[in-house]
Amino acid sequence: NSDPSDSVKFIKDKLLGGLLAAGFDDGSCLSRYHSVKGLSGNPSSYLISRLRKYEALHKKCGPYTESYNKTVKDLSSGQLSESSDCKYVVWISFSGLGNRILTLASAFLYALLTNRVLLVDHGVDMADLFCEPIPDVSWFLPPDFPLNSQFHGFNQKSDQCHGKMLKNKSVTNSKVPSSVYLHLVHDYDDEDKLFFCDEEQNFLQKVPWLLMKTDTYFIPSLFLMSSFDQELSNLFPNKEKVFHFLGRYLFHPTNKVWGFVTRYYEAYLANVDERVGIQIRVFDTRPGPFQYVLDQILACTLKENLLPDVDKKHGITGSFGRSKSKAVLMTSLSSGYFEKIRDMYWEYPTLTGEVIGVYQPSHEGYQQTEKQIHNQKAWAEMYLLSLTDVLVTSSWSTFGYVAQGLGGLKPWILYKPENETAHDPPCRRAMSMEPCFHAPPLYDCKAKRGADTGAVVPHVRHCEDMNWGLKIV
Ligand code: GDP
């Protein structure tokens, strides 16, 4: 009878300061109450109370409850029944795993702010990756939900698309449809982007079913809307921890994935003085590895004193004894960078005398989004990176954002290489642990013209790794 998490050191505060609800069955999801790492800072008591309120609403409105059944009927008839007291956001499974984690957190916060219930499309693998986060009632959309078969086909040209309705001027307050499709994918257009205007929220508020497809972390733009401003300040007095708290509330690896995490952690990471994570994501279609990427990793980690340099001249030290030890956890689709760095620390001694172990769990070669075990490993690796003490990430990568956000870490971000040359300086420290919104609207809703949304309030700025993106700092 082997519990995969028997011997890792867990933190004592099982409920993370009240962030997590009590009462789940422990064995069905070992990761939930057995955090290896505590929270960075404390969630506000208001956030905690709103989560408990959300859980109560979810219980009242969740799949196959009386209210759910009634509201689903409206969907088939197209008629709104006055008494429908539950409204929903349906999150449609879409894009890579890092993106999906960020968009689920965004959809959840939107649901919280608008008193809706979030229901999650299974996709191919969601249930194999994540435990249920809400007590008593599932967050998954039932298999017999009448619009399930349409999700795949929804796009900007669909009649129920909010942006298209605005183009056709078919949005009127007198005739409220039972469902609206929200296209918040990075290729969305000016009309789709009006989702982020308060006026449109007044209309959307009345629609019982909002069906959302998105691949980007849109929370920064919610902070710029007067509809949500006050509530967001109350929920997150410490603004830069939005994803950290929501992520630790929502995303608990299933026992299968938790086995990957705990076995690896215990074998390679548990018994060292410091853990350094290096997440390498190369957006180059050729196979690699590339020398300029390796040079950049080394330039960053040495310059910022995250890893020690090696002594290539003298090269002979070596006595057994208690030297400071560091474990480097690398993640990448390729094994080339990891092999080079591992060999370097084997072939030469460090100048500081520190002992450096270098490890990489998988090297999957290329992205295989539809393959179950591939995504389970990807999720385990994001989680393992979040357990490090010091983190280096790659520009533009949502995989890295998830790791930094869950881990409460402000990473050093490797600048995106241009024309196969590493940037100088090679990396910079992130302003905050928050993910970057890659496709924000650059629009002033009141003035109805373009505007720099990164210059409106001090806590929403342009990202370090993408100068048109927005992040909370
Ligand atoms: P992004 O493309 O970097 O923003 O991250 P996503 O997670 O959305 O999509 C990349 C996908 O490629 C992941 O979900 C994995 O399937 C795969 N992938 C990329 N980097 C790694 C890695 O270091 N390890 C593993 N196991 N998979 C990776």
Task: Write out pLDDT tens, residues 394-430.
Answer: 999 999 999 999 999 999 999 999 888 878 999 999 9
**How far lies 238's CA from each of 16, 245, 390, in Å?**
17, 11, 22
The finding on whether 398 has its CB within 6 A of some atom of ligand 1 is yes
The finding on whether 148 has its CB within 6 A of some atom of ligand 1 is no
The finding on whether 367 has its CB within 6 A of some atom of ligand 1 is yes
- Of 127, 108, 107, nearest to 379 (Cα)? 127
Among 7-16, 111-120, 211-220, 246-255, the range scoring the smallest mean pLDDT is 7-16
Res 101: pLDDT = 98
Average pLDDT of the segment spanning 3-14: 68
Region of residue 181 (left: phi > 0; alpha: psi -120 to 50; beta: else): beta
Lookup: tokens for 290: 């590339």
On the 0-12 / 13-18 / 19+ scale of CB atoms within 10 A, 43 is buried
Average pLDDT of the segment spanning 360-387: 91
- Of 249, 327, 329, 274, nearest to 39 (Cα)? 249
CA of 398 to the centre of ligand 1 (A): 8
On the question of pLDDT at 435 being above 50, the answer is: yes
Ligand 1 atom with the shortest distance to the CA of 96? 8
Res 109: pLDDT = 98
Residue 345: count other Cβ atoms within 10 Å of its Cβ: 19
Please report the sign of the dihedral spanned by the C-alpha atoms of residue 407, residue 402, residue 243, residue 226: positive
On the question of pLDDT at 367 being above 90, the answer is: no
At 228-240, the pLDDT tens digits run: 999 999 999 999 9
Whose Cα sits closest to atom 23 in ligand 1? Answer: 332
Lookup: tokens for 412: 């050093």
Angle (deg, nearest 10), helices 97-113 and 398-407: 60
Residue 273: count other Cβ atoms within 10 Å of its Cβ: 12
The finding on whether 101 has its CB within 6 A of some atom of ligand 1 is no
CA of 150 to the centre of ligand 1 (A): 27
The finding on whether 390 has its CB within 6 A of some atom of ligand 1 is no
Angle (deg, nearest 10), helices 372-386 and 398-407: 50
Number of helical (H) and strand (E) elements in the chain, helices listed first: 14, 14
Contacts of 384 (CB under 8 A, 6+ apart): 261, 264, 265, 269, 277, 329, 331, 361
The finding on whether 378 has its CB within 6 A of some atom of ligand 1 is yes
Identify the structural domains of the chain with CATH numbers, from first to last.
Answer: 45-250 (no CATH), 256-472 (3.40.50.11350)
CA of 394 to the centre of ligand 1 (A): 11
Res 394: pLDDT = 98
Rounded Cα distance between 267 and 281, Å, is 25
CA 291 to chain centre: 30
The finding on whether 375 has its CB within 6 A of some atom of ligand 1 is yes
Res 222: pLDDT = 98
The finding on whether 399 has its CB within 6 A of some atom of ligand 1 is yes
Helix (H) or strand (E) holding 214: strand 209-214
Q: Which residues of 189-222 are buried (b: 16+ CB within 10 A; e: fewer)?
A: eebbbbbbbeebbebbeebbbbbbbbbbbbbbbb
Which DSSP state fits 117?
E
pTM of the model: 0.96
Ligand 1 atom with the shortest distance to the CA of 95? 8
CA of 469 to the centre of ligand 1 (A): 20
Which DSSP state fits 23?
-
Res 2: pLDDT = 44
The finding on whether 333 has its CB within 6 A of some atom of ligand 1 is yes
The finding on whether 5 has its CB within 6 A of some atom of ligand 1 is no
CA of 375 to the centre of ligand 1 (A): 8
On the 0-12 / 13-18 / 19+ scale of CB atoms within 10 A, 444 is middle
The finding on whether 281 has its CB within 6 A of some atom of ligand 1 is yes
Lookup: tokens for 80: 């709104």
Maximum distance among all alpha carbons in the chain? 82
The finding on whether 335 has its CB within 6 A of some atom of ligand 1 is no
Lookup: tokens for 315: 């090269």
User: What Rg do the C-alpha atoms of the chain give, in angstroms?
Assistant: 23
Average pLDDT of the segment spanning 341-370: 92
The finding on whether 236 has its CB within 6 A of some atom of ligand 1 is no
Looking at every residue in the chain, the average pLDDT score rounds to: 94
The finding on whether 160 has its CB within 6 A of some atom of ligand 1 is no
Candidates 282, 384, 399, 466: which one to mutate for ligand 1, based on the most atoms within 8 Å of Cβ? Answer: 399
CA of 45 to the centre of ligand 1 (A): 35
Average pLDDT of the segment spanning 120-143: 96
On the question of pLDDT at 318 being above 70, the answer is: no
Beta pairing class for 209-214 and 179-184 = parallel
At 279-303, the pLDDT tens digits run: 999 988 887 899 999 999 999 999 9
Rounded Cα distance between 347 and 75, Å, is 66
* Edge-to-edge strands, sheet with 274-279: 355-359, 325-331, 274-279, 390-394, 412-414, 427-429
CA of 96 to the centre of ligand 1 (A): 7
CA of 329 to the centre of ligand 1 (A): 16
CA of 464 to the centre of ligand 1 (A): 20
Lookup: tokens for 237: 């007095």
3-state class of 162 per DSSP?
helix
